Chains A and B, each alone.
Chain A
Amino acid sequence: MSAPRGSDEPAALPAALASLVEGVVKRTKLWRRERADVRRELVTHFADGLESGASASELQESFGDPKSAAKLIRRSKKRNRPLWWRATAGTIKAGAKAAGAVLALLFVGYAVMFVLYNTGKPNVTRNYVAEMRAEVDAIPMEDRAWPVYLRAIRLLDGEAWARADHEWVVAPTRDEAAAWLNAHAEGIATVRAAAAKPALGYKFSHRVDPELEMANGRSVEEEPIADDDPLNGVVVGVLLPYLRELKQMAQTLWIDARVAISGGDGDRFVSDVDAILGIADQVRAGGFLIGDLVSISLVSLASRTIDEALVESASALDDDALRRVAHRLNAYPSDGGPIIRLSGERTFFEDFLQRVYTDDSKGGGLPTAEGWRLASQLSSDPALPQPTIGERMLGPVTVLTFADRRAMREEYERLINLALAEHATPMWERGASRIDAELAAMRADPLKRMRFQIVHSMAPSLGAALQQADKLAARRSATNGAIAAELFRRRSGAWPDSWDDLAPDLIPAAPIDPFTGRPMGLRIVDDVPRIYSVGQDLDDDAGAWVFDDDGEVVNHRAGDWLPREEVERLRAESSHEMFDGDWVLFPPPPREPIAAPIEAEALPSSQ
C-alpha cells in the first residue's frame, strides 16, 4: 500500500537518521512512489524509536547495514509491483539469461573455431602440375605435336594470323583466302603434320609460354620454365593457351578444305578433315572440360566441313575419300572413352581440397584461413598475401558453415558421377537434366550453397556441356548417313527412299534421333537428302527449318533439349518459347554460297 500525502519528512529526524533514511531510499532505485512509501515508513519507524526512548545512535546501529537493507527492500518491493510488470520483467530477465547463455556458448564455440581455423594448415602433398608435366615428359619427343605447332605458328605469320577473323578466316574473300593459303602452304602442311602426332605434348604451367610468345612474334620477358620449377601452383590456374591456337589452326584447315574441295582437290580435303579431327583429339589433353568442349566444337567443324563438301562439291570426293573421312570421323575420340570425361575437373577439385582444408589423413579436415582466402580469390598465385584481420575474425565461422573435407568431396563426387551417368544415358531416355536440377537447387538454397561453396563454384554447367556431346553425336551420325546416301546415289543413280536402302550395307544402322530414340527423318528436298531430328517440339515437321522472328534460320536452337514435361507444358500454352520445326542435321543451314561449284553438272541428280 502506498504512503498517503503529507507524510513525515526525514528532516524531522536527527541528521544522522535522516541521512540514513535518505541513503537507503536512494539506494533502492525504486519507482518514485515506492521510494516515497519506503521513506515514510522508515521515518515513522525511527520516530517511533525515538519516542520510545532509544537514542539516534542506538537506532542507527540496530537498523543494520544500509546497503543490504536497500537491496532487500528493493527486491521485496518489486514483488509488490503489478502482475503485468512482474510478468514482463520476468520474461525480459529470462530472455536476458537465455541470451547470455547463448552468447556465452557462441563465444566458446567461436573461440574453438578461431583456434581451429587460424592454427590449421593445409597439407599440400601433391603437385598436380608437376605430375602433369611429368606425363608429358614421358611422351617421346617425336610423338609430341606442340613443338611442331610452334613451328607452324611461325610459318603462318604468328600474331597476324591468329587475329584473323574474316568470313574466310584468313581473308575476307575466297580468292584472297586461296592466295593466302598458297603462300602459307608450308605452314598448313606443318599443321597437318602436327595434327598427325599421337599426343599434344604441351607442358602445363601457370606461366606464359615464352616459346609461344616468340612464335607469335611477341617480345618475351619470362625465361623458359624449368622442369625442376619448385612452384606448386593451383591447378585451376594452369594456362591453356594451346586451345586458342589450335582452334584457330582448325578453322584455317576448314577454310583450306573448302578451297580444296571447290578446286576439286579431294586428297587435300581429306587431309584437312583428318587434321581437324587430329587436333580435336589432341586438345583433350589433361581431361579438362574446357578442352573436351573445344574438342567437340572441332569435331562438329569437321562434320560441317564434310557436309558442305557433300552439298557443294561431292564429285570431288571419290568413294574411297568418302569412306576415309567417315571412318576418321567415327574414330573420334581416339582414346575410345566418353566424349566428356571430367577427369581434369576432378584434378582441379582434389588440388583445391588439399589447399583449403587440413588433412587428418583419413579423408577428413577443416577449412583453414589461407585455404579460404584461396577459395575466395580462386587465385593462381601460390604466394598468397596474409589474411586481413577482418578475414581472420570472420573466417572461423566457416568451420561451422562449410562442409568438412570429406563431405565436400562426397558431394562433388556425387554430382560428377551423376553427370557421367547422365552422359552415358541416351537423351531420349533421360528426361530433364538431373545434374542441372541439382546445381540449381544448390544455388536456390543459401545454406547448402554456403556449405558446398567450393562445389558450387567449381562445378561447371555440366548439363549444358553434356548436351553439346549429345548434339555432336547426332550431327556425326547424320553426316555418316549423308555420306552413305551419296554412296548409294552413286551406286544406284537415285537417292535412297529410306534408311532401309542404306543399312546395313553402307551404314550399320539408321542414325538415331536423340529426341525420340527412333530413326532420324530422311527426305529428299530440292534434290538433296534432308536428315533431321524432330527436335525439341518432338513433332515431325517433314524436315522444316526453324526460323526466328526475323526470318533467320536458327536450326541449332531446335536441337536444344527440353524435358518431355516441359514440351507438354509449352504445347498446352501454345508457347513461342518452343521452336516449331525440325532440327535439320543435313544439309548445313542455308547461307551465302561459299563458291561456285567447279563441276555443277556433277551435282547429285534428283531421284
Chain B
Amino acid sequence: MKIERELLRGAGPIAVMSLLSRREMYGYELVEALSQRTGGVLAMGQSTLYPLLYNLEAKELIASEWREAKSGRERRYYKLTPKGRKRLAADSEQWRALAGAMNALGLGPEPAAFGARLQGALA
C-alpha cells in the first residue's frame, strides 16, 4: 500500500529515528528495515531517505560517521543523538495518541492496519 506523501512526511522521520534508537544503521540497511518492518507501508525510495537523513542531521537529531564495515568497505553509519531521543519520545507519544484516536473513530482493525503496523514499527 502506498502512503500519501503528506502522511509519509510526518511518519518518515519518526520511523527512521525509531529504527536508529535501537542501534546505528547505514542507509541501505534503513531502507530495507523500513520496508520489511512496516510491511512496505513506509518503504521509501532512496531519493526520499537520504534527504530525510540529512535534514535530521541538520537538526542535530541524528549524527553520522564513516566507518569501515566487516566487508572491508566503508559505510556511513547514522545514530540517534540525545536530542533525537527526546524528540522521538515526544513524537511517539503523539503518534500513539493519534492512532488511538483513529481507532476510537472506528478506523480499525482492518482500516487501521496502517496504524497497527506503524505501532509495531515504533514499538
Contact = CB atoms under 8 A, between A and B. Distances in A.
B2 to A, nearest CB: 13
Given A8-B74, A79-B54, A44 B46 contact: no
Contacts of B73: 8, 44, 47
Contacts of B64: 1
Interface in A469-494: none
B45 A64 contact: yes
A73 B48 CA distance: 9
Contacts of B55: 76, 79
A69 B48 CA distance: 7
B26 A77 contact: no
Interface string B49-71: 01111110111000111100001
SS class of chain B's interface: helix, strand, loop or mixed? helix
Interface string A47-61: 111011000000000
Interface stretch (B27-35, B86-94, B100-108, B112-120): B27-35
A66 B48 CA distance: 10
A63 interface: yes
Given A47-B73, A76-B51, A80-B57, A69 B46 contact: yes
Contacts of A3: 66, 76
B95 to A, nearest CB: 23
A41 B66 CA distance: 9
Given A1-B66, A44-B74, A79-B58, A52 B28 contact: yes
A175 to B, nearest CB: 108
Contacts of A66: 47
Nearest to A1: B64
B28 A72 contact: no
Interface of A: 1, 3-4, 6-8, 24, 38, 40-42, 44-45, 47-49, 51-52, 62-66, 68-69, 72-73, 75-77, 79-80
B29 A76 contact: no
A51 B27 contact: no
B75 interface: yes
B47 A77 contact: no
A76 B58 CA distance: 8
Contacts of B58: 76, 79-80
Interface of B: 26-29, 31-32, 45-48, 50-55, 57-59, 63-66, 71, 73-76
Contacts of A72: 47-48, 50-51
- 3 A-B pairs closest in CB distance: A64-B45, A69-B47, A64-B47
A3 B29 CA distance: 19
A76 B54 CA distance: 5
A294 to B, nearest CB: 84
B26 A44 contact: yes
Contacts of A63: 45-47
Given A7-B74, A64-B46, A79-B58, A49 B28 contact: yes
Given A62-B46, A63-B45, A4 B29 contact: no
Contact of B27 (A24, A41, A65): A41
